[in-house]
Amino acid sequence: MQRTFSSPIGMKAVMAVTGLAMVGFLIAHLAGNLLVFAGPEALSAYARGLRKIEGILWVMRSGLILSVFLHIASGIRLSLLNQRARPQKYAVKKRVKSTFAASYMLLSGLVILSFICFHLAHLTFRLTHPEFAALDPFDIYQMMMISFKSPVLCLFYSVSILLLMLHLNHGIASLFQSLGIWHGNINKFVQVLGAFLSFALGIGFLSIPTAIFFNLVQ
C-alpha cells in the first residue's frame, strides 16, 4: 500500500479516484442548483430535503473533503516532482498534442481552490453578505438573486466556472488514463465523454449566475 501511494503512479490513481468523486459531487450539485429555474419553492424544498438526510450527507461531505484534500496534496506533490525533472528550460518549446487545458492544470486547479474557499464563505457559511442573515436559511433562491445581480460577483463566478470547465476538460479523460482505462476504442469514448461532461457541467453552472444577472430567472 505504502509503495503504491508513495509512487507517482499511485498518486495519479489517487488524483483520478478523488477527481471522479468530485465530478460525482458536481453532477449532484448542479442538478440541485438547476432547480433555481423551477422557482424559489423548489429550491428551498431541495435544501430542506437535504437537511433530512443529514447523516448520509455528512458521510458524503467527509468523503468530499477528504477527496479535495488528497487531490490537492497529490497534485502539488506531483507538480513539485515534475518541476524538478527539468531544471533547464527550452529556449523554444511547442505543444504538439497536449492541450491548453492539460498544460495549466495546476494553475486552473489553484484558482478553482480559491474559488471554492470563496464559494463556501459565500453561500455555505454566508460571511460575505450580511444581508443573508435576514433571510430564511433555506431561501437559497433569494441569496442567489442578491448575489448574482452584482456584476463583479457574477463575473468572478463565471470566470471560475470557465476554469473549472477547462480543468475538467483535461481531468475527466485523464482520470481514465490514470486508472489504466485507455485502450483501443475506449480512449475515443473516454475523450468524448470528458469533453461532453466538462462542457455540460460548465454550461450548467454558468447558466445560473448569468441567467440571474440578465434577469432571465423570475
Partner 1 sequence: MKLNLHIWRQKDKNAAGQMKTYTLDGVEESMSFLEMLDLLNEQLIAAKDEPVNFDHDCREGICGACSLVINGTAHGPQEAVTTCQLHMRSFKGQSDIYIEPWRAKAFPVVKDLVVDRSAFDRIIQAGGFISVNAGGVVDANTFLISKNDADKAMDAAACIGCGACVAQCKNASAMLFVGAKVTHLASLPQGQVEKKERVLRMVKTMQDEGFGNCTNTLDCEAVCPKSIGVSHIAKLHREFLAASLTTTSNS
Residues of the shown chain interacting with partner 1 in the complex, contacts defined by CB under 8 A: 1, 3-4, 7-13, 78, 81-82, 84-99, 102-103, 105, 170, 173-174, 177-184, 187
CA distances from 194 to 118, 145, 175, 197 (A): 26, 31, 9, 5
Show the cell assigned to 56: 448520509
Which of these, 159, 157, 165, lies nearest to 196 by C-alpha position?
165
Q: State whether residue 34 is helix, strand or coil.
A: helix
* CA–CA distance, 176 with 16 (Å, rounded to integer): 7
Residue 126, Ramachandran bin (φ over 0: left; ψ between -120 and 50: alpha; else beta): left
Dihedral sign for Cα 35, 69, 158, 20, please: negative
Tell me the CA end-to-end span of the chain in Å, nearest whole number. Answer: 53
Q: What value does the CA radius of gyration of the chain take, rounded to a whole number of Å? A: 19
* CA–CA distance, 217 with 164 (Å, rounded to integer): 23
